[in-house]
Every structure is written in structure tokens, then in C-alpha cells.
């Protein structure tokens, strides 16, 4: 049989054309034209299961805050011409991480960038958007892909945005005057919300379906955006994990504290001028190396790494760009966030963030026990009270948590860990829920993460390896993000870990789609998570501390319960309510 070489050539030519067309289409999918006319060129990635996705990394959302822009609100980025590569993470914002207990300063001052991840191909219908604000006490952390990547969440049809924002003194220095009113890190986040509103549609995201979620300081940031009028209309649902603005470390600094710390910072860097000439001091500070500014963070601690956050949000003087001008407890009008569906929760042993180090660094525990009355007010942020009031608060705490005395150790630490859990996290979340449920306009879903996994964040906070102390602060993050691949490289997830990860991803994504973590459209095998309508709250307990070989029946990974850690939360509410009547108004009910 004779071969028709002409036909073969035509077929080969056609195949080549099809291959080139497919390459062109794939390549074209990584090119996105921004509304202002410039282009972004992204990269291909795969989710955990191998699902294809697009990643646009290191996307600028504001002018680099350098030189004269240091200590100022972010400036919107002007349009650019032509193509811009967006294929790798930007540097983290310059920081010094106290939780690692080292002296390393890392990152760059030029750090206002975000990452966008989408499925590939993008479905025809616009997708819900999830914006992640990381934790780290507003002094460390980043939105980079190696920690907060899309590997798990992009198994589902969403658009994920993670962002860097300024930290420590570079992000939260305040003179309490118009020279430097403060909250620039929160204003960076606000700029991210504006960027998403204006640009996310070209990535396949729905600007009218935006869920903002965060953990620890990121969770507190979420509640600040639910409070600030500047964020109204830019978010439609919220998830606050282990943080609200009522947590003592997240509350605005008391009047005069921020200015005192700004003064101390300027003197540490030899920016001393006569009087209170803040403009001159700031000009001097803007000329200093960013590393030297960040290095002063450790000089703000009184003991160990406390107070935990030396540069928290502040109350700004009234001006056009102000993000926060009233203390959250003093806001008269109903916050716009009351009308937004909310998911909120804590881990069972949040306090391991602090007590893991106390239990494993003997010198630290010895000093803490021997100077308990002096140190506890610093650790729990009530040292702004007069000495007599501090002593009274300490006595109440001691009588409630340590009836048998200070006999806590590695094998008997629950009372100490509960104290830090409640003082730093549970009481603030409880107070936030009380006020929200008094005037609830939208559903509220509450959870307690209580799981024993293959790895624990207590290791990161100087806990011993291979010892389980409880469900530590930040523990749930490894079930939403591939953070464990960097932090726990030798840990092998258990079957329960994998099932819990699948469950939590569906809960979080369903909530981002519908404002309801349960699967609304069609059938689902998810347990029903009921919203709480009254106080005390009903909540979902997520996870299990039982090993599979301890029970014949696999434990349920979502169980509805009532009264979230209520006995302990009641203690803190009563303690706040019975502070002496002569407390200054700005201090009353604040620990």
C-alpha cells in the first residue's frame, strides 16, 4: 500500500497547529490584563491533589513605603505599561520574630505585595474571594506561599488572596498626633481590600462576594475592619480565628503609651530633639536604616517578650484618612460588621503560645514563679492600673486558677495554660460574642478547635518535640494551609488529620460561598453546624484528642455543644465588671 506523504504532512501540520494553539491558550491564561491597561504574567501551580491553578505572586498593591513614605499611610500604586512578571513571592515585611526567640532581622521595607490564586481554567461564573490576613502579633509573619499557600484551599472553586502588610514600628508607630497618627499596617490591609474590589474581577473573582479571614492578630484585624467605617462595603463575610479587638494585646494602646514608645524609639536611635518636635524626630527616623528601627522592638519588652505586642493599634486623632478614632467599647453607632455573617473561634489550649516556653525553659519558669505578682500584670496587660488595683486583680486570678498553689509543671500545666488561654484569647472572644449577640443581624458560627494531630504548634513556641500539651494557638492553620510542610517536615498526618483537613476546608469554603458552613445547594455528608442565636453560645467542637485505637467507633470531628468554656469566661466577665469604681473611664473593664 502506497503512503500518501502529502496527507501525512497535512495531518502533521494540523497536529502541530493544534499543539501550538493549546500552548497559546495555556500561556494566554497566565496573562491577565488589569483594569488600568497593564498586564500581569503569572505561573502555573498545582494544588495538593494535582488540580491545576494559576498563581500571580508578588503583585504590588501600593507604592513602596520608603524614604518620605515611611510611617505614612499607603499610597495607591499608579498604573504601569506593558507586562509585569508575577511568578514568585515578594520579600516579607521587615521584622524581628519574638516567638522564635532569636535575634534575626529579616525581610524588606519594600514589601507591600499580595498573591492571587485561582483555579485553571477559571469557571465561567465569578468565584467567591477569600482574603487572608496572617497572624504574628502585627510584628512578624507574611502572606507568602510557602506558609499560606493555596495547596489545600484551591481544591475548591474560590479565588484566594494573601497579602503582606507592614509590621512592628514600621507598621504601627504612632506619635498620637497628625505627624504620624498610626495604624499604617491596618491601612495597608484596607488598601488590599480596595485593590480586590477594583481588580479581582479580571482574575475570575466576584468583588461582591469577599470573605476576609485571619488568625490571631489577623483575626483581630478582621474585627477591626468590621468596626471601621473605612472598610464598609469592601467585605461581605468574616472569619476571625483566635482574635478580636477585645483581646488585651489587640486593644488600642491607652492614651500616651504609643507616644511614649515613639519617644523611646527615637532616643534609642539618637533622634533626640528639643521639646516635642515630632516632625523633626520623624525626619531623623526616616533617615535611619530600616533594620535599626525594627531592632528596637526587643527594647520595648519589660520581661521575656511581654507585653506581647509593644506596637498595637491606636486611637487616631480625627483626620480624613483615620482608620480608628474611637475605642471599640465606646463606639455609639452599630458597627457595619454586625450585618455580616461571622465565623469565630479559638483553640482549646491557646495559652501554649506562652506556657510551652515556660514549661521547657527552666530559668523562665523559675523567674515567673518567683516574681508572679510583678510579672502577671505585664503578661496579661493590666499593668496600666495602679499598684493596688493590679494586686487585687492578681489575687482574684490566683484564687481562681491556683487553688492548690503554684505547683504547675510539664505534667500538670493545665491551670497555667488555661489562665493564659483565657486572659489572652478566650475572654476577649467571649466579650465580642456577648455584644454581637445582643444585637445580632446576621448568623454567627462559633467553634472550638480541639484536636490532637501528628504535629503541634507548641513545638514552634519552644515546647518539647513529640510531647502533646494540647491544641495550641495557631494549631488549626496546618489544616487550612500547607504550613506544616515547612514547620513539621517529619510529621506524618494521621487518617483523622486528613479527614479533619477535608472537613475544615469544606466548612471554611462553604461559609465563604454562602455565609453558612453547611452545604446548602444539594446533599452533603457534613455534620450540621448550627449558628448561635443567644448567649451562652452553642458551638462546634472541631477535631478529636482520641487516638483511633482508643475507641472502636471513629470519633466525630464536629460535635455541637453549648456554653463555650463558660465557667472560665464568666470569671473574666465578673472580674472586669467589678474593677474599682474610681477607675478612669478609658481603663474600666479593660485588663
216 is an active site residue: yes
Q: What is the pLDDT of residue 553?
A: 64
Q: How many CB atoms lie within 10 A of CB 504?
A: 22
What is the 3 state secondary structure string of 58-100?
A: EEECECCCCHHHCCCCCCECCCCCCEEECECCCCCECEECHHH
Q: What is the pLDDT of residue 521?
A: 53
Q: What is the pLDDT of residue 3?
A: 55
Active-site pick, 350, 475, 476, 590 = 350
> Whose CA is closest to 118, among 83, 144, 153?
153
The total number of residues shown for the chain amounts to 591
**Structural domain spans, the chain:** 56-286+312-340, 351-575
Q: What is the spatial distance between Cα 120 and Cα 118, in angstroms, rounded to a whole number?
A: 6
What homologous superfamily is domain 351-575 in, according to CATH?
A: Alpha/Beta hydrolase fold, catalytic domain (3.40.50.1820)
242 is an active site residue: no
What homologous superfamily is domain 56-286+312-340 in, according to CATH?
A: Alpha/Beta hydrolase fold, catalytic domain (3.40.50.1820)
Active-site pick, 162, 174, 209, 216 = 216
Query: In 136-293, at which residue ranges do the beta strands (DSSP E only) sit?
Result: 159-163, 205-215, 237-241
Q: What is the pLDDT of residue 339?
A: 97
The reply to whether domains 56-286+312-340 and 351-575 share a CATH topology is yes
Q: What is the pLDDT of residue 524?
A: 61
Q: What is the DSSP string of 294-316?
A: HHGGGGG-SBTTBSS-SS---PP
Q: What is the pLDDT of residue 99?
A: 83
Please, what is the Cα angle at 429 between 411 and 300, to 5 degrees?
75
- Stated pTM of the model: 0.93
Q: What is the pLDDT of residue 20?
A: 41
Q: What is the pLDDT of residue 9?
A: 52
Q: What is the spatial distance between Cα 59 and Cα 57, in angstroms, rounded to a whole number?
A: 6
Phi, psi of 367 (to 5 degrees): -65, -40
364: its cell numbers: 523562665
Q: What is the spatial distance between Cα 571 and Cα 582, in angstroms, rounded to a whole number?
A: 21
Separation of first and last alpha carbons in the chain: 93
537: its cell numbers: 453560645
Q: What is the pLDDT of residue 329?
A: 93
Please give the chain's pLDDT, 591 residues, in tens.
Answer: 455 545 445 444 444 444 343 344 446 689 999 999 999 999 999 999 999 999 999 999 999 999 999 999 999 999 999 999 999 999 999 999 888 777 799 999 999 999 999 999 999 999 999 999 999 999 999 999 988 999 999 999 999 999 999 999 999 999 999 999 999 999 999 999 999 999 999 999 999 999 999 999 999 999 999 999 999 999 999 999 999 999 999 999 889 999 999 999 999 999 988 777 999 999 999 999 999 999 999 999 999 999 999 999 999 999 999 999 999 999 988 999 999 999 999 999 999 999 999 999 999 999 999 999 999 999 999 998 999 999 999 999 999 999 888 989 898 999 999 999 999 999 999 999 999 999 889 999 999 999 999 999 999 998 877 789 999 999 999 999 999 888 898 889 999 999 999 999 999 999 999 999 997 555 566 779 999 999 999 999 999 998 766 555 677 899 999 998 899 999 999 998 876 544 443 444 466
Q: What is the spatial distance between Cα 407 and Cα 215, in angstroms, rounded to a whole number?
A: 32
Q: What is the spatial distance between Cα 441 and Cα 439, in angstroms, rounded to a whole number?
A: 6
CB 331 within 8 A of CB 435: no
Alpha carbon 3 to chain centroid, angstroms? 67
Q: Give the CA distances from residue 365 to residues 102, 311, 412, 443, in Å, rounded to whole numbers and listed in that order.
A: 19, 26, 13, 43
> Whose CA is closest to 168, among 185, 180, 181?
185
Q: Which stretch of DSSP H or E encloses residue 278?
A: helix 278-286
Phi, psi of 585 (to 5 degrees): -55, -35
Amino acid at each position: 500500500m502506497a503512503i500518501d506523504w502529502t496527507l501525512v504532512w497535512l495531518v502533521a501540520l494540523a497536529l502541530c497547529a493544534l499543539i501550538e494553539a493549546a500552548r497559546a491558550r495555556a500561556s494566554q491564561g497566565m496573562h491577565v490584563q488589569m483594569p488600568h491597561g497593564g498586564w500581569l504574567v503569572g505561573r502555573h501551580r498545582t494544588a495538593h491533589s494535582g488540580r491545576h491553578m494559576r498563581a500571580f505572586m508578588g503583585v504590588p498593591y501600593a507604592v513602596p513605603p520608603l524614604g518620605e513614605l515611611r510611617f505614612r499611610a499607603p499610597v495607591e500604586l499608579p498604573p504601569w505599561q506593558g507586562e509585569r512578571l508575577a511568578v514568585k513571592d515578594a520579600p516579607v515585611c521587615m521584622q524581628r520574630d519574638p516567638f522564635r526567640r532569636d535575634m534575626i532581622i529579616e525581610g524588606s521595607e519594600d514589601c507591600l505585595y499580595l498573591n492571587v490564586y485561582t483555579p485553571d481554567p477559571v469557571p465561567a461564573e465569578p468565584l467567591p474571594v477569600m482574603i487572608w490576613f496572617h497572624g504574628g502579633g502585627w510584628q512578624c509573619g507574611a502572606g507568602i506561599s510557602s506558609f499560606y499557600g493555596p495547596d489545600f484551599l484551591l481544591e475548591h472553586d474560590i479565588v484566594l488572596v494573601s497579602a503582606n502588610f507592614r509590621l512592628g514600628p514600621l507598621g504601627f508607630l504612632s506619635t498620637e498626633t497628625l505627624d504620624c497618627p498610626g495604624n499604617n499596617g491596618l491601612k495597608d490591609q484596607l488598601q488590599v481590600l480596595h485593590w480586590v474590589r477594583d481588580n479581582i474581577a479580571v482574575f475570575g473573582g466576584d468583588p461582591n462576594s469577599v470573605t476576609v479571614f485571619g488568625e490571631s492578630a489577623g483575626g483581630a484585624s478582621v474585627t477591626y475592619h468590621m468596626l471601621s467605617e473605612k472598610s464598609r462595603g469592601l467585605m461581605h463575610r468574616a472569619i476571625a480565628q483566635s482574635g478580636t479587638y477585645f483581646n488585651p494585646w489587640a486593644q488600642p494602646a491607652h492614651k500616651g503609651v504609643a507616644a511614649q514608645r515613639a519617644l523611646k524609639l527615637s532616643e534609642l536611635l539618637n533622634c533626640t530633639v528639643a521639646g516635642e518636635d515630632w516632625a523633626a524626630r520623624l525626619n531623623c527616623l526616616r533617615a535611619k536604616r530600616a533594620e535599626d528601627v525594627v531592632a528596637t522592638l526587643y527594647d520595648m519588652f519589660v520581661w521575656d517578650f511581654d507585653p506581647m505586642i509593644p506596637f498595637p493599634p491606636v486611637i487616631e486623632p480625627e483626620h480624613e484618612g483615620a482608620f480608628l478614632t474611637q475605642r471599640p467599647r465606646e463606639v455609639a453607632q452599630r458597627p457595619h460588621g454586625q450585618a455580616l455573617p461571622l465565623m469565630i473561634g479559638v483553640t482549646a489550649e491557646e495559652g501554649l503560645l506562652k506556657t510551652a516556653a515556660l514549661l521547657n525553659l527552666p530559668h523562665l519558669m523559675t523567674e515567673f514563679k518567683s516574681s508572679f505578682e510583678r510579672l502577671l500584670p505585664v503578661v496579661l496587660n493590666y499593668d496600666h492600673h495602679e499598684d493596688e488595683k493590679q494586686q487585687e486583680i492578681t489575687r482574684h486570678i490566683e484564687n481562681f486558677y491556683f487553688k492548690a498553689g503554684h505547683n504547675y509543671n510539664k505534667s500538670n500545666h493545665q491551670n497555667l495554660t488555661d489562665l493564659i488561654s483565657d486572659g489572652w484569647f478566650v475572654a476577649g472572644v467571649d466579650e465580642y460574642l456577648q455584644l454581637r449577640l445582643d444585637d445580632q443581624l446576621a448568623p454567627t458560627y462559633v467553634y472550638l478547635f480541639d484536636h490532637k494531630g501528628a504535629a503541634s504548634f507548641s513545638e514552634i513556641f519552644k515546647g518539647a518535640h513529640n510531647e502533646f500539651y494540647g491544641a495550641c494557638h495557631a494549631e488549626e492553620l496546618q489544616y487550612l494551609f500547607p504550613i506544616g510542610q515547612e514547620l513539621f517536615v517529619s510529621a506524618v498526618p494521621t487518617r483523622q488529620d486528613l479527614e479533619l483537613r477535608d472537613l475544615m476546608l469544606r466548612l471554611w469554603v462553604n461559609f465563604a460561598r454562602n455565609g453558612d458552613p453547611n452545604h446548602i445547594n444539594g446533599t452533603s455528608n457534613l455534620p450540621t453546624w448550627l449558628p448561635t442565636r443567644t448567649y451562652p453560645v452553642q458551638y462546634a467542637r472541631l477535631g478529636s484528642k482520641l487516638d483511633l485505637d482508643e475507641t472502636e467507633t471513629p470519633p466525630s470531628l464536629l460535635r455541637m455543644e453549648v456554653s463555650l468554656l463558660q465557667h472560665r469566661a464568666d470569671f473574666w466577665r465578673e472580674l472586669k465588671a467589678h474593677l474599682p469604681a474610681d477607675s478612669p473611664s478609658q481603663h474600666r473593664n479593660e485588663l
